[in-house]
Amino acid sequence: SIIYVLNGPNLNLLGKRQPHIYGHETLADVEADCRKLASELGHEIRFHQSNREYEIIDWIHQAREDGAGIVINPAAFTHTSLAILDALNTFEGPVIEIHISNVHKRESFRHHSFVSHRADGVIAGLGTEGYQLGIRRVATMLKTAKK
Ligand code: DQA
């Protein structure tokens, strides 16, 4: 199957942006790791990043058409976007929400997530390894859905 890995605003600067919080790996490094793992698991990856909310919504709609799974780091849209939650609520496949940092250890405005109202699971604070774990979980869920 297809697994969408969706990234929200400012994650294009991963590796350069507050590395004490988000680490030194770039988004290109994360993408390479995701592609490697997905091919080992026999899945195809659609890896995207945008600073624009509507693009993320459009990719969720595409994932719906594709009968795919979604791993999403909505970044700051996590805490603001009812529109992304509504888009995810049109989607029936597995959704894993991930955050590189432990949002619960940070400012209180990062403690609420709109996306968590729909996500099947949430990974936070495990660094960029969270993407790998999210892909593994989506792969497991896609497999059990097929049975
Ligand atoms: C983030 C956490 C968010 O609060 C923040 O706005 C981000 C990144 C993370 O991966 O830790 O941009 O989603």
**Ligand 1 first shell, C-beta below 6 A:** 10, 73, 75-76, 78, 99-101, 103, 110
The boundaries of the domain holding residue 88 are 2-146
Res 77: pLDDT: 98
Say how far residue 18 (Cα) sits from the centre of its chain: 19
Q: Is the pLDDT of residue 146 over 90?
A: no
Atom 6 (ligand 1) nearest CA: 76
Q: What is the CATH number of the domain that holds 93?
A: 3.40.50.9100
Distance CA 83, CA 85 (A): 5
Confirm or deny that 101 is annotated as ligand binding: yes
Q: Is 99 a residue of the active site?
A: yes
Q: Which atom of ligand 1 is nearest to the CA of 99?
A: 10
Q: What is the pLDDT of residues 11-60, one digit of tens each?
A: 999 999 999 999 999 999 999 999 999 999 999 999 999 999 999 999 99
Q: What is the pLDDT of residues 84-120, one digit of tens each?
A: 999 999 999 999 999 999 999 999 999 999 999 999 9
Answer for the pair 107, 43: CB distance below 8 angstroms, yes or no.
Answer: no
Number of domains in the chain: 1
Other beta carbons within 10 Å of 120: 14
Q: Which atom of ligand 1 is nearest to the CA of 101?
A: 11
Distance CA 129, CA 112 (A): 22
Both structure tokens of 37 = 């793992």
- Residue of 22, 24, 48, 61 marked catalytic: 22
Q: Which atom of ligand 1 is nearest to the CA of 102?
A: 11
User: Looking at this predicted complex, what is its ipTM?
Assistant: 0.99
Q: Is 54 a residue of the active site?
A: no
Q: Is the pLDDT of residue 147 over 70?
A: no
Which is nearest to 122 in space by CA: 99, 147, 142?
A: 99
Confirm or deny that 113 is annotated as ligand binding: no
CA distances to 31, 56, 101 from 61, rounded to whole Å, are 21, 9, 27
